[in-house]
Structure 1
């Protein structure tokens, strides 16, 4: 702003620029940017520059053509805004009312205004500091020992198999005493004969399981067309009706594969003899196999077709049919549905995670060649009905792939950013029909529909896929910031599950707790990645943040106590319990091992009232007791022990199911006995007693199964004497 000043000496005038109070920071002033005068200001935050306010600039009036000394004094109508002090000045402002200052003293109101502005700025600075992530040096990341998160089995120098952090082989490395006992059990007096017997019984169980999984020869080796053989193996319609409903109740909640109204119409046409598409029978046989696992006494492994289908034979025929397809059939949506259902059905019979992981990799790529990874809106030739069903199938494939990848501790076949397909809408299948011109609007996630579970699961998928990515790059993590950020997102999602699907509305006994089962599975969909994320740190590092420890323990205990919500005396409880134990068996075993780890390292109160860590820590957790917070844990060591013991009883009862591998159960039993306090002799007695209980259950299972004979076991004279004594009383 220029004004004319008349000089008395020469009558000449000159233009003088009066200095303005400098309010902007140094960087904004140099770049001629609008500054909001915060510290740091928004412009410096965007450009990630150091924001500074120069006090000397304020005093000398940088940017002026003349100093204050050169201009005549005039009353100041309003005081200038106090300058922000340079970084490091704890006062926050430079006092401008001292000698040599260009501004006058403040009036009382002006002083109050100045103080309010200062207080506001300090509050903004404090809020900004609170929003910054915690400094990494608070919890420096120490890389977990490799033996606690992965292992490689090498046989013959050429055959190798990778094991991830969830496998029993790796979990045993956390318990040195139990592992040493299992390695030396053949040389331990008092346990040698017991374990030799158990090993031979295990081989007999393996042979029995192998026999049950063999397809019926008359069907698989027949020269008849495969479609005819698939039709011949189907049971009568009343049985198929019951098994189809069992499949829908158990699976078509989170994993949406088919449009149920359309499939039911085709199902009716088949039984009425009005024709069906070529892919109908393969998909139906897979559904019958899944329903048989949860609804029949033989669990889909019996040869009697009066109440179920023989799942191994049915799935072998479906695989035979798929392998015979060529050309255009390989990019048919019905073929892709059959592939997905086949993998799903095979996983209910045998939990071969790495085989499923490889098969799902092929299915993902098959889906991509069909364009399912791109949103159908990109292709105008697709109808709304077809488009929405493609979205459901694509998110089912991604969810299965993520689930198996976390179980194997291997990368997913697809990552975030590699697809554009939008999540399916929360609408009922009845609202979708082939001739529709546009999709109805999606209902809120808390509104129950046939797609509600998948719609919510799809909304959590990016966060869960992020966890899988972090778990597979553990060696590159420098601090816990990324881990805690991803973990807290999942914890919030778990809270949302309990809010959207409340427990008290899911305890219906007429449908065998259908809503409860679906909610439990949805909860596990989110909880499983959380456990995989926190597991390497909670059970492998010495500088783990307390939040990770407590959250990991809570989730592990939640898995072990899920069934406590249900009344054990109501009809249908046994079927629901078996389904829960069967579907989540690996998660339950991992959670039980984790709780055993906390039993070993949990604080306890001695007679003097002091905190002491658990007894006999192993090599990898010797200092982990130091990571505990100094407060009392949520559960005492006795409560944790009782919970694992109850879980052991459920796992032992599952031995009668041929899909159960007793090696995991034996390892957990030994670990549980070894982490409890007591002398070495007491722990040895607990170990042998627990193993003997498992052996008794195995023998009982072999004795009651048709085609198995206890006397046929290839055992020594002493072992035969033990079995004879057991069998007779």
Structure 2
């Protein structure tokens, strides 16, 4: 006897949709016992081990919603776990289709059968229609408000100069990349290999960890002294953070006292020692090219253990009371969280807020010359630390698309002098009553990079305030900020000015890295300042300078990316600095990539199309290499592939990379082809780039195409919407 089932119905309740079998019969309770579902829906579907947290490890690591089933009583109806759950993309696409149905056409009249809306949807639609009618006469005013992408679990805001906001401005490109990411997650979500797991997305200090039972428990986690000696040596010889936060000779004296009487050492100093060890493990791990998976996993376990001990030390030291060594430990801990997360993380922004407020609570934002009782040595160390915090203020805020936390009107701390740690020894030991004169800026010292960086950062601060203001700035203000940035670049000490790598063969890796980093900050400022005018359509093209400057800065930014990619490999001039080329600089490389993608996609290439394409091909190779560990790199590689394919008008050499591995086919296209079981040249496979991506990557049926003015066909699917403005609120 056949059983008839009704078709699944898509129902909506408080923004959540579930597939249910409306008429599916259930076995009687006498012969069926429901087993309570303890795993979340995703882990149960993919047969993963669920830790039953909220969110669980698998969902948190992939940025997905973690939903647990409501365990019903016997006989109560339940949803079918085996049925496919609609993805977030499907839910968004369905909502967008509903909104389009509700939106009146430009010339249509209301009919008795028309569905009317009120409240929030009506307001959004009227605002959208109003925005589309605006004439763009200056900057892209629609982007000034930034972007809010509301989801079921968070409400994140990003500024309009953030790379993700630029990507969102290209509607079909955003749909392409987002859908690719969802497909990739579905394909890899069952990977339970411990060697490929990613670190927790959360900063341990913000979410808590088990409290240490005693000081003995913390000290027992230290490696043997010979190993600690090697870690400390690596830290002071390879990590530039040492000279901007810690005076090496003072630390070594405290280090010797620690081994003589470890139980009498302040717990905050012990936490500082753990941060030094942890940073050395991270840096040495990244610099070691030949490592097996087991060794890599051991390093990760070490890092996890040291992180826990650092947080335990901070808690025992009552870190909010800002005692000795606490600020230095907090800064190092923030660098650790920064180094282990390949992608931008809002936890780092919150963590830096704690560090910045802690420094101001200790008075570091006011120059020490105003206060009695602060020695010249302490005053100089405060200036070094404050200058480092100003850099973090700009970098971290830019990564999460938020305004900076420290304003120029809030501090008057002077920049540090160009002195070595040996110069400060006489002051520290009492041999001198005041600071020695600053060394000439033609002489490189470990602190010279901090001095040069601060000058650029202060100019970036002016630009950041202009971009973060709720009222649009005038073009005259933009040009004044541009002049200030140029003056800051002109004030760079000679060893910190950009020069070719061939002319840097006798320079130290630290000096080369500082030069590239400062150049990266300069181009970042130009992009922040002039990016709003890239697509402005003013009469007389009064923004030609901004457009050329932004394009040049983006190309130069990606040239720095190429240098870093080449020279940080084994045998390169700065191979020991590879660990620093991570989140600190990648965010702005992403922004430059998205700007070039946007220009090529819109056809606004300023007669430099081939130059843009050439740089995009190079950067795509770099992003492909980093896509294994970074979702942002995956998105960038896919966006570049999409735009190059689109600009080629078909599947041509634009899809092939000339990487050192000899791999010709774009890996993302190859993955899509393998999933679909098709290959290039197969009969019936369209050579149109947009249609190919729809068929292979979006995995949606090909729709009839229409010819565009340039002769390319564009596939229309119900997932593609009109261009969205930067200021749209996404549901």
- TM-score > 0.5 by shorter chain: yes
Structure 1 CA distance, aligned partners of 2:229 and 2:465? Answer: 42
With the length of structure 1 as denominator, give the TM-score of the two structures.
0.61
**Alignment match, 1:480:** 475
Q: Give the CA deviation at 1:364.
A: 1.9
Is the 8 Å Cα contact of residues 419 and 447 (structure 2) preserved in structure 1? yes
Q: Give the CA deviation at 1:554.
A: 1.9
Q: Give the CA deviation at 1:172.
A: 1.9
Is the 8 Å Cα contact of residues 538 and 544 (structure 1) preserved in structure 2? no
Structure 2 CA distance, aligned partners of 1:147 and 1:348? Answer: 31
**Alignment match, 2:312:** 320
The 1:560–1:304 alpha-carbon spacing in structure 2 relative to 1, beyond 3 Å, is closer
The 5-angstrom pairing of residues 566-715 of structure 1 reads: 570=571, 575-576=576-577, 579-581=580-582, 583-600=584-601, 614=603, 628=606, 636-657=608-629, 661=632, 663-679=634-650, 690=666, 692=668, 695=671
The 5-angstrom pairing of residues 280-429 of structure 1 reads: 280-296=269-285, 310-326=302-318, 330-350=321-341, 351-429=343-421
The 5-angstrom pairing of residues 518-533 of structure 1 reads: 518-533=514-529
The 1:646–1:266 alpha-carbon spacing in structure 2 relative to 1, beyond 3 Å, is same
Q: Give the CA deviation at 1:404.
A: 1.3
Structure 2 CA distance, aligned partners of 1:309 and 1:572? Answer: 30
3-state SS in 2 of match to 1:152: strand
3-state SS in 1 of match to 2:438: coil
Q: Give the CA deviation at 1:455.
A: 1.8
Structure 2 CA distance, aligned partners of 1:660 and 1:170? Answer: 16
The 1:343–1:180 alpha-carbon spacing in structure 2 relative to 1, beyond 3 Å, is closer
Per-residue deviation, residues 280-329 of structure 1 (Å, max 9, x unmatched): 221222233333333225989977798787223322321232233338x7
**Alignment match, 1:159:** 154
Structure 2 CA distance, aligned partners of 1:645 and 1:352? Answer: 24
3-state SS in 2 of match to 1:584: helix
**Alignment match, 2:188:** 201
3-state SS in 1 of match to 2:418: coil
The 1:389–1:295 alpha-carbon spacing in structure 2 relative to 1, beyond 3 Å, is same
Structure 1 CA distance, aligned partners of 2:490 and 2:140? Answer: 29
Structure 2 CA distance, aligned partners of 1:269 and 1:369? Answer: 29
The 1:442–1:409 alpha-carbon spacing in structure 2 relative to 1, beyond 3 Å, is same
Residue among 450, 464, 467 paired with 1:468: 464
Per-residue deviation, residues 477-511 of structure 1 (Å, max 9, x unmatched): 2x311111112321343354484425369977799
Q: Give the CA deviation at 1:696.
A: 9.5
Which consecutive residues of structure 1, in runs of 5 or more, have no partner in the other structure? Answer: 1-139, 187-193, 602-613, 615-623, 700-717, 720-729
3-state SS in 2 of match to 1:441: coil
The 1:458–1:482 alpha-carbon spacing in structure 2 relative to 1, beyond 3 Å, is same
Structure 1 CA distance, aligned partners of 2:546 and 2:238? Answer: 32
How much is the aligned-residue C-alpha RMSD, in angstroms? 4.3
The number of aligned residues is 518
3-state SS in 2 of match to 1:426: coil
Is the 8 Å Cα contact of residues 151 and 164 (structure 1) preserved in structure 2? yes
Is the 8 Å Cα contact of residues 195 and 296 (structure 2) preserved in structure 1? no
The 1:448–1:205 alpha-carbon spacing in structure 2 relative to 1, beyond 3 Å, is farther
**Alignment match, 2:712:** none
Q: Give the CA deviation at 1:596.
A: 2.4
Structure 1 CA distance, aligned partners of 2:673 and 2:443? Answer: 45
User: Does structure 1 residue 279 correspond to structure 2 residue 255?
Assistant: no
Structure 1 CA distance, aligned partners of 2:475 and 2:190? Answer: 45
Structure 1 CA distance, aligned partners of 2:294 and 2:504? Answer: 30
Per-residue deviation, residues 370-390 of structure 1 (Å, max 9, x unmatched): 111111111121111111111
**Alignment match, 2:548:** 550
Per-residue deviation, residues 251-280 of structure 1 (Å, max 9, x unmatched): 436981111221133234445667643222
Which consecutive residues of structure 2, in runs of 5 or more, have no partner in the other structure? Answer: 1-135, 658-663, 676-695, 698-731
Residue among 426, 444, 448 paired with 1:448: 444
Stretch moving more, 404-413 or 269-278: 269-278
Look at both structures and tell me which one has the larger radius of gyration over its CA atoms. 1
Q: Give the CA deviation at 1:551.
A: 1.8
Is the 8 Å Cα contact of residues 178 and 674 (structure 1) preserved in structure 2? no
The 1:342–1:279 alpha-carbon spacing in structure 2 relative to 1, beyond 3 Å, is same
User: Does structure 1 residue 264 correspond to structure 2 residue 235?
Assistant: no
Structure 2 CA distance, aligned partners of 1:698 and 1:336? Answer: 52
Structure 2 CA distance, aligned partners of 1:352 and 1:197? Answer: 20
Stretch moving more, 662-671 or 563-572: 563-572
Q: Give the CA deviation at 1:362.
A: 2.3
Is the 8 Å Cα contact of residues 148 and 158 (structure 2) preserved in structure 1? yes
Is the 8 Å Cα contact of residues 163 and 587 (structure 2) preserved in structure 1? no
Structure 2 CA distance, aligned partners of 1:414 and 1:399? Answer: 10
3-state SS in 1 of match to 2:150: strand
Structure 1 CA distance, aligned partners of 2:672 and 2:227? Answer: 35
Q: Give the CA deviation at 1:516.
A: 0.8
Structure 2 CA distance, aligned partners of 1:447 and 1:510? Answer: 14
Q: Give the CA deviation at 1:452.
A: 1.0
Is the 8 Å Cα contact of residues 417 and 438 (structure 2) preserved in structure 1? yes
Structure 1 CA distance, aligned partners of 2:370 and 2:598? Answer: 51
Q: Give the CA deviation at 1:160.
A: 0.9
Is the 8 Å Cα contact of residues 556 and 591 (structure 1) preserved in structure 2? yes
Structure 1 CA distance, aligned partners of 2:224 and 2:542? Answer: 58
3-state SS in 1 of match to 2:166: helix
3-state SS in 2 of match to 1:570: coil
Structure 2 CA distance, aligned partners of 1:506 and 1:223? Answer: 52
Per-residue deviation, residues 191-243 of structure 1 (Å, max 9, x unmatched): xxx97356422674899765644999xx9658542x44443444445554454
